[in-house]
Structures are given as C-alpha cells and as structure tokens.
A and B are shown apart, each in its own frame.
Chain A
Amino acid sequence: METWLQQLHRTFIAKGYWRLIPQGLRNTLLISLGALAIGIVIGTLIAVIKYFAADNGKLKPAAFLCDVYTTVIRGVPVMVLLMVLVYAIFAGTRNPLGVCILGFGINSGAYVAEIIRSGINSVDKGQMEAGRSLGLSSMQTMRKIILPQAVRVILPAIGNEMISLIKETSVAGYVGVFDLTSRGNQIRNLTYDAVNPLIAVAVIYLILVIGLTKLLSVLEGRLRAGVRHA
C-alpha cells in the first residue's frame, strides 16, 4: 500500500507536474485582477451615469442602456457569456486569456455597478449640495466628496464580489484558458490521481480568499481611521 506522501510524490513531483499549478495560479490571478479592474471602471461609470440621469433628461438614454446591460449580464450565466465571446464574437482569437479577462470584467461590472450605486445613494444628499454651493461642478463633487465616502461604505460588498470573482474564474478552462482548476484537472488526467490535485487546487483557492479577506479588513480599518467616526 502506497502512503499518502508517496502518492503526493508520484502525482506532483516525480514527473514535475507540480509546475502546472503555479502556471494555472498565474492565469487565475491575472483573470481575477484584470476583471476586477475592468469591473470597477464599468461599474463606476454606470453608477455615476444613473445617479446623474435622475435629474438630467439628456442622460436618460444612456441610463436606459446601462439598465439593459445590467439586466442582460446578470441574467446570463458567466459561462455562457464567456463562450459567446470566445467562440462567436472573438472566434479564433489567439488570446483567449485576454478575452476571458474581458468577459469576467463585463460580468463583474454589472454587479459592481449595483454595489457602487448603493454606496453613492448611502451618502447624504446634503454632501452634493454642500459641494455645489461652494462652486464645485457635479463631477468634481462626485469625485472628491461623494465617491470617497461611498467607497468606505461598499468595501465589504466589493470584497464579496472579489471573492466570488476569484472562484468564478474556475470555469475559464471551458473556453481553453488554463487556470488553476483546469491545471489541476490536467494533473488528474495525467496521473489518474483523482483526489490530491483537487485538494491542492481547493486549498490554494482557500488561501487566496483568506488572504484577500485579511487584506480587506486591514484596508477597512485604515479607511475608518481616516474618518474617525465618533
């Protein structure tokens, strides 16, 4: 009977398959971080447009498009969205990783938009009025007065979104991107060891999420120290 340590050695070390793990991890991180950046840009844009559209008729069509976007994206599984991008819109792409980042970013944007919108709405109306009364434009007030306060409110929700995002990227393998999960799967196929590659992959996701959670709580503490709510 082979011991567990011998099993690990045979699966990961003997033929150097362990090297697939950091390669996959790299892609998982690239997709997560890239998608988060895209998601925050899209989400902020949508939230701000919808905020100003409330009393600016010219923005109504733009706000309508934003609603269509969030409705469609939130209503379609990210897996399907990815396949549409990789196999239809960007069919034959040489950069499935890039398309994948874009896809997860588009997906994340719809959720981040709602989070940021709730953050903006949580800031007292008087803040915008105070900014405008000093002669700041609505965009200047949004940037310097409203958004910095909204960020403090929504940080936990953004953290949740980041955690979901990291784990959602595990479907990237279905469109030919070798992320952490698909590399684990490869090792499983190569070694006929069904258990250990999956455990390794699961543990790495867990560590990523725990690390992220810690990072966020440090950040939250710092932001709160900045305001010092008595």
Chain B
Amino acid sequence: MSDMREPLLRVENLHKSFEGLEVLKGISTDIQKGEVVCVIGPSGSGKSTFLRCLNLLEKPTAGHIWFDGVDLMAKGTDLNLHRQKMGMVFQQFNLFPHMNVLQNMTCAPLMLKKAAKDEAEKRALDLLGRVGLADRANAYPAQLSGGQKQRVAIVRALCMQPEVMLFDEPTSALDPEMVGEVLDVMKRLARDGMTMVVVTHEMGFAREVASRVVFLDDGVLQEEGTPAEIFGAPQNERLRSFLAKIL
C-alpha cells in the first residue's frame, strides 16, 4: 500500500489567470517525497507560473495546494512558515547584492531564528564546500560568475534545510560553459534524495535525473511519465511536436 502514503505536495485543479488571460487551466498532480519532477513545455505554456504557484509567489486563482498535508491556500495558513521548508532557485539568481556570500546564506536562518550564528555559519561553509565555493564565502555577488551565483543561490536555499526545492529555469540565464557546473550540483542534490521540482529546458538533465517528467502546454498538463515514456514513446500530439522541435 505504499501508493497510499501522503504526497509531500498535492496540487488539485490549479487555475491561474492574469487579467483575464488564463495561464493555468486546472492542473492536478502529486509529488512524492524524494521525487525529482522535471516540468517541460514551450515558452508561455505556464510552467514557470505553475512552479511559482507551488509556494504561492503567484496566488492561484482557484484550486488547492497541500504541502505536508496543509492546505496552503486556506485562510489562516502561515505561509511564511511553510515557505521556510520550500527552497526556491530563480532564473536570475536573485542573490542579495549588498550582502556577501555567507550573509546571503545565513540571513534568513538567523532572522527566523532557525539556528544560532555559529551553527548557521558552520552549515553555510559546509554547503559552500560541497559546491566548490568554500573560498568565496566573503565575496559579494557582483564578484561571482553566473555559474557561481547560481550555486550560491542553491546553497542559500539549502541553508534553510527545506523539504522540497523548486527550480525555475535555473540554467537559462547562464553562459553555456557554466550550465554544467550548476546541473552537477542539482544532480548531486537529487542523488542525495532531495525532493525537487525543476522547470527546465535541459532535456538531457530531465532524461538523466528526473523520476518523472511533466509536459505542460497551453496551461494544461498534457502528459506525464518516466523520462523513458516521455522521450521514448510520447503519446500526446503536442508533446511529439514539441520534442521534434527541440531534440
């Protein structure tokens, strides 16, 4: 009966409209602990909006999102508390430019009293070491390359010890030679058992790392399955034409 366990994230009939334009037209899916879900689809398909709805950076127009069994859209839900457990990595990194790398990583744990200063710094330095940036702890974001910035952004989110990590096209703003170093960090994270939802155009990554691939188009979840199913035997017509264009 292992299928009956509660999913970490349950999305039910998610709708989102921007000023009359319906971007998400009722998406439902469950994300189990330890899953790596890659969300693919053409631009404008709603995949970034879907991801940003998961931690309510975008407020869904209708539907439900349960995280750890809590309805995030219910009145009275302490969103800030739940966001602490949902790390997010952005396309544009969004590091805090007025703080050095260490401060970027420790400011939220310290402000939210998740850790004492020495404990938070120890964890930050440990995480930095794991992504090969131990020597950059005192650098400011402006002194880092794009790839380094994104690696810092990932460990900044990890510093909060999240239960799930959301990635919004994490390599799309990078120079091609820096994509690999960021994907490597994400691969290692997946191997370590982190639950991940990744909006990406990196089909190689999706094929290699995803436990499930979700294809969105026109605000609808058109097809989902294992990488082998999605890339090897796509059923949906739109998915087939999407794959034909990019592969």
Q: Interface on A for B, CB 8 Å cutoff?
A: 124, 126-127, 129-137, 140, 144-145, 148-149, 152, 226-230
Contact = CB atoms under 8 A, between A and B. Distances in A.
Nearest to B159: A134
B94 A124 contact: yes
Nearest to B107: A144
Given A135-B81, A135-B160, A136-B108, A130 B94 contact: yes
B29 to A, nearest CB: 21
A212 to B, nearest CB: 24
A206 B107 CA distance: 43
A140 B95 CA distance: 16
A135 B98 contact: no
B36 to A, nearest CB: 19
Given A133-B83, A135-B108, A226 B142 contact: no
A174 B133 CA distance: 63
Q: Lowest 10 CB-CB distances: which A-B pairs, in order?
A: A135-B84, A130-B94, A133-B88, A134-B108, A126-B94, A230-B142, A135-B83, A228-B140, A229-B142, A135-B80
The contact size tier of chain B is 20 to 34
B66 interface: no
Nearest to A134: B108
B111 interface: yes
Interface string B138-152: 001011000000000
Interface string B67-104: 00000000000001111111110101011111000000
A137 B80 contact: yes
Contacts of A132: 57, 80, 83
A133 B140 contact: no
Given A129-B57, A134-B87, A149-B97, 9 more contacts: A129-B88, A129-B90, A130-B88, A130-B94, A131-B108, A133-B87, A134-B84, A135-B83, A136-B108
Contact of B86 (A129, A133, A148): A133
A140 B111 CA distance: 8
B171 interface: no
B157 A134 contact: yes
B120 to A, nearest CB: 13
Nearest to A135: B84
A148 B107 CA distance: 14
Given A132-B57, A133-B57, A134-B160, A148 B83 contact: no
Contacts, number: 71
A227 B98 contact: yes
A136 B80 contact: yes
Contacts of A148: 98
A226 B94 contact: no
Interface in B11-57: 55, 57
Contacts of A149: 96-98
Contacts of B112: 135-136
Given A140-B111, A227-B142, A228-B140, A127 B160 contact: no
21 contacts: A130-B90, A132-B80, A132-B83, A133-B55, A133-B87, A133-B88, A133-B166, A134-B87, A134-B108, A134-B156, A134-B160, A135-B85, A135-B112, A135-B160, A137-B80, A144-B107, A145-B96, A149-B97, A149-B98, A227-B140, A228-B140
Nearest to B85: A135
Nearest to B88: A133
B87 A144 contact: no
Interface string B109-151: 0011000000000000000000000000000101100000000
A122 to B, nearest CB: 12
Contacts of B156: 134
B113 to A, nearest CB: 11
A228 B55 CA distance: 32
Contacts of B95: 130
Contacts of B84: 134-135
| Best-buried of A127, A130, A152, A229 by chain B (most CB within 10 Å) | A130
A228 B143 contact: yes
Nearest to B52: A129
